[in-house]
């Protein structure tokens, strides 16, 4: 298993190119199931999750060509030859569950393993299943799988989500695109990745209105076609490197990011003492404050502060000039980075969903363990600022969501390398 070794204390200086959005592509790829025509996706990051999704779609009968050099993925499902998503794949990557809606919509049947929990929480799928039943699918849960049947096709319906769910919204939009009649989705999630999926589906011939609002209306089509679509940039990677500049008191230019970052994150970054200047397709980030200001943050569905940047922000706030509070309101166990940050000298206490972070003057390098994707990168950020050497094990978590992480940081002067242990 690889490890990442960092000798901290170097302010980052230079340019970092932001890759395409993992969480957009993990919804865009299953959309290929909805058509027999080719779907070409560009700006697709070269990540293990993308490889896993490619493998899953291939087992269903799609032709999938992933070209990491050109960041393109060509997909075509002329005929779906298998309707089953195995436990072994789904347990590795929860986003595999996003084949359920498209499979039922295209073929009238699907058998998908329930994803089960993961390090950050139970990760229920009840909202996905509620929506599919409202669209007319007959569901049966047995042996850890959900079997869905819709022999006469899906029928449009009104779906009211009690809480906003990214995945359930995506599964429902894809399923409803081929249902008979109109579907209304109320309290839909509004993450930019969902907007990107809608843009792609509309280009394929789907009739979808209400993008970026909580209310989506879909006129089902008997079939949709292929298209070429460029994925949006990864706003979580963007925010992560913003915070890497902050924790090292560096100055970096982040390129390839059209829409920048959401206001909730930008406001908190500026309150902390960062200088962020937006230009077309890039952000100029500077943080030369002697110490950063403490913050109070609650994670919320978009457009609130993203839960996927909570761990990274906590690493930065562990060195703030005062006490910060973070309330993790999306997932029930997304503080796995806390014990490891405390082993590096941070002073963080957890009470229920709330973390109290008392700023310390310095962090000390240590051997630490990665547990999930965003906790892992929070430890990288801490290592970039810590005195001495930090060794982060189980970096396969990082490879799921960050393309060329150590290369991008080393190009900005960080003393970071990957070691085979
Ligand atoms: C997506 O996960 C992202 N993953 C996550 O990013 C992200 O943290 C999350 O949205 C929230 O923004 C992908 O897009 C592949 P949810 P998803 O359904 O769809 C509960 C990363 O680091 N819920 O919006 O699984 C759920 O338990 C990953 O890139 C139900 O109760 O998230 C959670 O508490 C981690 N029942 C809340 O809703 C359901 O049926 C939000 O989950 C579905 C969800």
User: How far is it, in rounded angstroms, from Cα 137 to Cα 149?
Assistant: 5
Tell me, what's the pLDDT at 181? 98
Query: What local confidence, expressed as pLDDT, does residue 341 receive?
Result: 98
Pick the residue whose CA is nearest to atom 7 on ligand 1.
308
The confidence score (pLDDT) of residue 115 equals 87
Distance CA 198, CA 28 (A): 9
> How far does residue 24's CA lie from ligand 1's centre (Å)?
13
- Which of 82, 118, 190, 242 does the annotation list as catalytic? 118
Pairing of strands 182-186, 158-160: parallel
Residue 158, CA distances (Å) to 92, 130, 187, 211, 266 in order: 32, 11, 11, 17, 35
**Counting atoms of ligand 1 from 1, which one is nearest the CA of 236?**
29
Q: Which of 186, 195, 30 is nearest to 112 (CA)?
A: 30
pLDDT attached to residue 212:
93
- Which residue intervals of 155-262 are DSSP H helices? 166-176, 192-203, 235-247
pLDDT at 269: 95
Ligand 1 centroid–CA 183 distance in Å is 22
Q: How big is the CA angle at 141 (ends 166 and 151), to the nearest 5 degrees?
A: 85
Bridge partners, 4 (sequence order): 392, 418
Strands 39-42 and 72-76: antiparallel
Give 244 Cα–ligand 1 centroid separation in angstroms.
24
Q: Which residues line the pocket of ligand 1, CB cutoff 6 A?
A: 23, 26, 94-95, 121, 123-128, 163, 165-168, 189, 307-308, 330-331, 373-374, 401
Residue nearest to atom 28 of ligand 1 (CA): 308
Which pLDDT value is given to residue 117?
66
Question: For residue 39, what are the β-bridge partners?
Answer: 75, 227
For residue 118, indicate whether it is catalytic.
yes
263-272 helix and 310-317 helix, angle to the nearest 10 degrees: 10
Q: Which of 387, 380, 388 is nearest to 412 (CA)?
A: 380
Tens digit of each residue's pLDDT, the chain (421 residues): 789 999 999 999 999 999 999 999 999 999 999 999 999 999 999 999 999 999 999 999 999 999 999 999 999 999 999 999 999 988 889 999 999 999 999 999 999 999 876 767 767 899 999 999 999 999 999 999 999 999 999 999 999 999 999 999 999 999 999 999 999 999 999 999 999 999 999 999 999 999 999 999 999 999 999 999 999 999 999 999 999 999 999 999 999 887 677 889 999 999 999 999 999 889 999 998 888 999 999 999 999 999 999 999 999 999 999 999 999 999 988 999 999 999 999 999 999 999 999 999 999 999 999 888 999 999 999 999 999 999 999 888 999 999 999 999 999 999 999 998 6
What distance in angstroms lies between residue 264's CA and the mean position of ligand 1's atoms? 19
Residue 417's beta-bridge partner residues? 5
């Amino acid at each position: 298993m690889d490890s990442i070794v960092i000798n901290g204390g170097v302010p980052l200086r230079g340019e970092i190119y932001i890759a395409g959005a993992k969480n957009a592509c993990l919804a865009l790829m299953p959309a290929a199931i909805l058509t027999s025509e080719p779907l070409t996706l560009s700006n697709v990051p070269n990540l293990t999750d993308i490889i896993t999704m490619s493998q899953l779609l291939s087992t269903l009968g799609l032709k999938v060509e992933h070209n990491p050099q050109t960041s393109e993925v060509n997909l075509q499902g002329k005929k779906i030859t298998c309707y089953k998503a195995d436990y072994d794949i789904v347990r590795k990557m929860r986003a595999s569950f996003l084949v359920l809606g498209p499979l039922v919509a295209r073929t009238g049947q699907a058998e998908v393993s329930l994803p089960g929990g993961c390090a950050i929480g139970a990760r229920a799928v009840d909202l996905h299943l509620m929506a599919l039943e409202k669209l007319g699918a007959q569901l049966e849960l047995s042996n850890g799988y959900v079997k869905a049947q819709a022999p006469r096709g899906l029928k449009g319906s009104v779906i009211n989500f009690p809480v906003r769910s990214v995945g359930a919204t995506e599964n429902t939009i894809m399923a409803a695109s081929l249902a008979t009649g109109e579907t209304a989705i109320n309290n839909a999630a509004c993450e930019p990745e969902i907007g990107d999926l809608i843009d792609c589906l509309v280009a394929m011939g789907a009739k979808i209105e209400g993008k970026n609002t909580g209310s989506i209306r879909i006129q089902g089509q008997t079939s949709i076609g292929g298209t070429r679509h460029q994925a949006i940039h990864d706003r979580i990677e963007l925010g992560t490197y913003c915070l890497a500049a902050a924790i090292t008191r560096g100055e970096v230019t982040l390129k390839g990011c059209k829409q920048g970052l959401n206001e909730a994150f930008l406001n908190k970054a500026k309150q902390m003492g960062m200088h962020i200047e937006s230009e077309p397709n890039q952000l100029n980030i500077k943080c030369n404050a002697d110490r950063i200001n403490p913050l109070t943050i609650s994670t919320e569905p978009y457009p609130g502060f993203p839960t996927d940047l909570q761990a990274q922000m906590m690493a930065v706030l562990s060195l703030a000039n005062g006490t910060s509070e973070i309330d993790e309101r999306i997932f029930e166990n997304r503080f796995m980075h806390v014990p490891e940050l405390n082993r590096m000298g941070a002073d963080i206490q957890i009470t229920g969903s709330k973390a109290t972070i008392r700023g310390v003057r310095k962090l000390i390098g240590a051997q630490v363990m990665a547990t999930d994707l965003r906790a892992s990168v929070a430890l990288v950020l801490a290592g970039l600022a810590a005195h001495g050497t930090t060794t982060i094990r189980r970096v396969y978590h990082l490879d799921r969501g960050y393309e060329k992480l150590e290369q991008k940081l080393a190009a900005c002067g960080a003393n970071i390398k990957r070691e085979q242990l």
